[in-house]
Structure 1
Amino acid sequence: MFTTIDLFAGLGGWSTGARDAGAQVLWAANHWPDAVEWHAANHPDTQHICQDLHQADWSQVPKHDLMLASPCCQGHTKARGRDNGKAKHDKSRSTAWAPVSNAEVNRPEFAIIENVPDFMGWVLYPAWAYAMQRLGYALAPHIVDCADLCVPQHRVRLFMVCSLSKAPLHLQLPRCQHVPARHILDFDAGNWSKIDKPGRAESTLLRVKNGRERFGERFIMPYYGSGSGLTGRSLDRPIGTITTLDRWALVRGDEMRMMSADEALAAQSFGPDTKRPDNHRLTMHMTGNAVPPLAGKIVIEELKRAA
């Protein structure tokens, strides 16, 4: 059995995936008290610490076979219109050095670093990769659409597999049939409102009009931000990326509503028994930041096969 730790653990996507893959999650950390509270609720047997990992004493971390880490991605992703090299992003991007510090002290046999693919375009990525390699790790980047791992959501992410081996460990990840959005959405539930009402944005009305022409009376569309242009999305496709804020709206005839927190959790492949805050905004924030547990499970299972 792998023993693991989870750095930047939030709602527990990595930890849930690891547990489902048969690993034991020994230790988890986050600087955010709410994240630690809800991770502990879902993983009561795991040791938790609430701390800025820039200040962690890695010698106090239990010895482990596998380090899982999802450093802050907002400073790397183009989705937020980031301007590469801006100093304002340095604090968030510097979280990527925490896994290096732990690797130096504890030398786990494996590590998987999850982030957006833009992580490898970071101006300091060559230095980060060199640091890991100096510690003896071979790096194998895997760019994965989580929809290919049976998650009902298009979510393209980097899974950097680091191993204390002479050659990089390239995983043979399966390619699942995509799960349609209709499987995780309930058009008979929720609080619906009329589409045609005062104050509705023209761009929203245009999306509804074009969506109806392409997909009929039921479809989904981005309500805030973009992602599907001005057309919406078919229910026969996985939903687009779940973010930390409300983004997706369901359209049913002349009514619409925002996606619920429970639907967002399902889109991320969290189970219905997942403990979460009652606060919608807080749940959406944690959900959007999470690693899809099913993707995590499959990646870890393939790591165990390849090891």
Structure 2
Amino acid sequence: MLKGIDLFAGAGGNTIAGTNAGIEMVYAANHWQMACDIHRSNHPSIEVACQDLQQADWSRLPAHDIGLASPCCQGHSKARGKERAHHDTQRNTAWAVVGCAEYHKEDVWLVENVVDFLDWPLFPSWLDAMRRLGYAMAPYIIDSADHGVPQHRERVYMVFTRSKHPIELTLPKRPHVPVSSVIEWESYNWSKIEKTGRSPKTLARVKSGRERFGDRFVFPYYSSGSGKTGRSLDRPLGTVTTVDRWAIVQGDMMRMFQPSEYRKVMNFPENYLLPSTRREAIKMLGNAVTPIVPEDLLNEIQRVA
């Protein structure tokens, strides 16, 4: 059986993917203590290291064949603005993949990030470093909705193989799943839309949504696009972020999405343990990988290898 590692593991989306693809996941690492604790709770048989991977001693990792990694994306996403010093540090986390690959010479690397990662000024140098280590790279820009996830979430998945030419994969394309399928209509408390203190901007968004979709729809509390128009329940949700963004309208009542619903929107198992606090659970899920996408990639990589 092939063995794999999960760097910048977060909530463990890549670990779920590797396990489901028949890979024995033997190691995971992340710098956030809470994420490490959650990973251990859900995957007790896997060695978990809680550390800054830019300072990692790669010789201490167990033997493995495949590397999975999701370096920090916040420094690359144009949606986050210009927090230069902080973002420069986050962008640099991608070099940990190079360091690990130089030492272990894995057969395959699967690296996930926001599409803006390809516009990083140092991306050509980072890619050149991987090529100098003997890897060819095939980029796949994938929307999770096309893999049956009830969420539009476009990310780039870079497949590195120790081969002369990039690997060519044929991935499945599944029907889109409506967000209505994951909403727990009877499980949580709702509040009146028309109440003292409700933001005029929120009321305007609700009014616009009602005009388009009637008494039931979803909308984000901020941003453009469906932030102004609402969103049909018959479509996948928009991208889940690390903050409490998405709200549901039902008649004259509304509420925010709950972690148990976000867990399903992110394609995590329903019994997957999350942080007990709402804020941390949403942050962890918003940073995560939707497991079915890397699972599909890993299955196809193994098929054509």
Shared fold per TM-score greater than 0.5: yes
In the alignment, is the contact (CA less than 8 A) between 2:98 and 2:129 conserved in 1? yes
* Alignment partner, residue 111 of structure 2: 113
In the alignment, is the contact (CA less than 8 A) between 1:224 and 1:246 conserved in 2? no
* Alignment partner, residue 55 of structure 1: 55
* Alignment partner, residue 277 of structure 2: 279
User: What amino acid is the match of 1:269?
Assistant: N
In the alignment, is the contact (CA less than 8 A) between 1:136 and 1:165 conserved in 2? yes
* Alignment partner, residue 256 of structure 1: 254
Structure 1 CA distance, aligned partners of 2:10 and 2:46?
Answer: 13
* Alignment partner, residue 22 of structure 1: 22
Structure 2 CA distance, aligned partners of 1:178 and 1:156?
Answer: 14
* Alignment partner, residue 133 of structure 1: 131
Structure 2 CA distance, aligned partners of 1:250 and 1:81?
Answer: 27
1:213 is displaced (CA, Å) by: 1.1
Structure 1 CA distance, aligned partners of 2:137 and 2:301?
Answer: 13
Higher mean alpha-carbon deviation, 259-268 vs 222-231, is at: 222-231
Normalised by the length of structure 2, the TM-score is: 0.97
> Relative to structure 1, is the Cα distance of residues 45 and 90 closer, same or farther in structure 2, using a 3 angstrom cutoff?
same
1:87 is displaced (CA, Å) by: 4.2
What is the root-mean-square deviation in Å for CA atoms of aligned residues?
A: 1.2
* Alignment partner, residue 70 of structure 1: 70
Structure 2 CA distance, aligned partners of 1:166 and 1:129?
Answer: 15
User: What amino acid is the match of 1:250?
Assistant: I
In structure 2, list runs of 5 or more residues that go unmatched.
none
Structure 1 CA distance, aligned partners of 2:167 and 2:160?
Answer: 7
Structure 1 CA distance, aligned partners of 2:297 and 2:2?
Answer: 13
Deviations 1:121-180 (A, max 9, x none): 000000000000000000111000010011111000000000000000132111110010
In the alignment, is the contact (CA less than 8 A) between 2:275 and 2:281 conserved in 1? yes
In structure 1, list runs of 5 or more residues that go unmatched.
none
Pick aligned residue for 1:203 from 178, 198, 201: 201
In the alignment, is the contact (CA less than 8 A) between 1:76 and 1:82 conserved in 2? no
Deviations 1:47-104 (A, max 9, x none): 1111110111101111211100000000100122348xx4442100000000100000
Pick aligned residue for 1:102 from 100, 112, 117: 100
Pick aligned residue for 1:164 from 162, 165, 168: 162
* Alignment partner, residue 297 of structure 1: 295
* Alignment partner, residue 2 of structure 1: 2
1:256 is displaced (CA, Å) by: 0.4
What count of residue pairs does the alignment treat as equivalent?
A: 305
SS at 2:89 equivalent: helix
In the alignment, is the contact (CA less than 8 A) between 1:227 and 1:240 conserved in 2? no
1:118 is displaced (CA, Å) by: 0.5
Normalised by the length of structure 1, the TM-score is: 0.97
SS at 1:230 equivalent: helix
Q: What does 1:225-264 correspond to in 2, within 5 Å?
A: 225-264=223-262
